């Protein structure tokens, strides 16, 4: 546990905006959020998403993370926070239910993603929604690299701490089993332009910058680099 916490504390010590954050913004813009919207940001990191929701919609934001460094930054932004390891502890804020729960680049970091999705369901109000962003291990270019024996974890968006990659069928089964409905995958993106030389320089960088955050509206299991799925708790 201490090694993991140390890793995330060091990660959030520097000013860092994860490249995938911008791919979530079009979806968030279409959710009719307001100052009355209560949002739970699970594994909130340094609060980049929450800051956007506060600045843009004046939402009320709660957040959890295992990094004290990250939570300090979130509190400065306006979050109500609690440090928790959801692999071993219960979801905090027992007195609150939420309109929106965000699981952004979180499920791939835990041993039991299904457990986290169920927790998210329990924290939602009837009719509330969950937004999930997570990598697609069987993205079209991953398939080619696997066959060639050249798959590169960091190159394809993987970072230290990724332990639970999923395909669409696996993630869909988790959501349905948790009783979510009205799943919408059409905000998933074809690629995300990271900060590596591969993503910013040369021919590869030229293409990736132009395809960055291109939405995938069909065959998500093949074309989506990151799944972005929104699902609803029944009313």
pLDDT in tens, 11-34: 888 878 888 999 999 999 999 999
pLDDT in tens, 53-99: 999 999 999 999 999 999 999 999 999 999 999 988 999 999 999 99
Q: How far apart are CA 104 and CA 212, in angstroms?
A: 18
Confidence bin at 154 (pLDDT 50/70/90): low
Provide the H-helix boundaries in 137-217: 140-148, 168-177, 197-200, 202-211
What letter does residue 122 receive in the DSSP assignment? Answer: H
Q: How far apart are CA 4 and CA 140, in angstroms?
A: 31
Q: How far apart are CA 113 and CA 5, in angstroms?
A: 19
Strand segments, DSSP code E, in the chain are 38-42, 60-65, 80-83, 98-104, 124-135, 181-184, 226-232
Q: Could you tell me which residues come within 8 angstroms of residue 179 by beta carbon, excluding any fewer than 6 positions away?
A: 121, 233, 234
What letter does residue 2 receive in the DSSP assignment? Answer: H
Which residue carries 């219960």 as its tokens?
90
Q: What is the pLDDT of residue 148?
A: 87
Backbone dihedral region of 125: left (phi > 0), alpha (psi from -120 to 50 degrees) or beta? beta
Q: How far apart are CA 93 and CA 91, in angstroms?
A: 7
CB 39 within 8 A of CB 60: yes
pLDDT in tens, 86-120: 988 999 999 999 999 999 999 998 999 999 999 99
Q: What is the pTM of this model?
A: 0.93
Q: How far apart are CA 94 and CA 207, in angstroms?
A: 47
Q: Where are the domains of the chain?
A: 2-232
What is the average pLDDT score of the chain? 92
Q: How far apart are CA 209 and CA 201, in angstroms?
A: 9
Q: Is CATH 3.40.50.300 the classification given to domain 2-232?
A: no
Q: How far apart are CA 210 and CA 102, in angstroms?
A: 27
pLDDT for residue 39 is more than 90:
yes
């Amino acid at each position: 546990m201490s090694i993991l916490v140390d890793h995330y504390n060091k990660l959030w010590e520097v000013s860092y905006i994860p490249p995938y954050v911008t791919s979530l913004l079009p979806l968030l813009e279409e959710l009719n959020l307001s100052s009355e919207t209560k949002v739970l940001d699970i594994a909130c990191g340094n609060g980049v998403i929450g800051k956007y929701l506060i600045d843009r919609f004046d939402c009320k934001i709660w957040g959890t993370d295992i990094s004290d460094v990250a939570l300090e930054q979130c509190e400065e932004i306006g979050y109500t926070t609690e440090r928790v390891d959801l692999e071993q502890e219960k979801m905090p804020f027992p007195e609150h239910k939420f309109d929106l729960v965000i699981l952004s680049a979180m499920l791939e970091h835990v041993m039991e993603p299904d457990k986290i999705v169920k927790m998210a369901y329990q924290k939602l109000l009837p009719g509330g929604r969950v937004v999930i962003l997570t990598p697609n291990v069987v993205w079209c270019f991953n398939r080619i690299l696997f066959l060639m024996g050249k798959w590169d974890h960091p190159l394809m968006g993987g970072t230290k701490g990724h332990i639970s990659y999923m395909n669409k069928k696996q993630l869909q089964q988790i959501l349905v089993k948790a009783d979510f409905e009205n799943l919408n995958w059409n905000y998933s993106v074809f690629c995300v332009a990271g900060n590596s030389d591969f993503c910013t320089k040369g021919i590869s960088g030229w293409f990736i910058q132009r395809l960055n955050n291109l939405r995938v509206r069909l065959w998500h299991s093949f074309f989506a680099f990151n799944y972005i799925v929104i699902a609803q708790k029944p009313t």
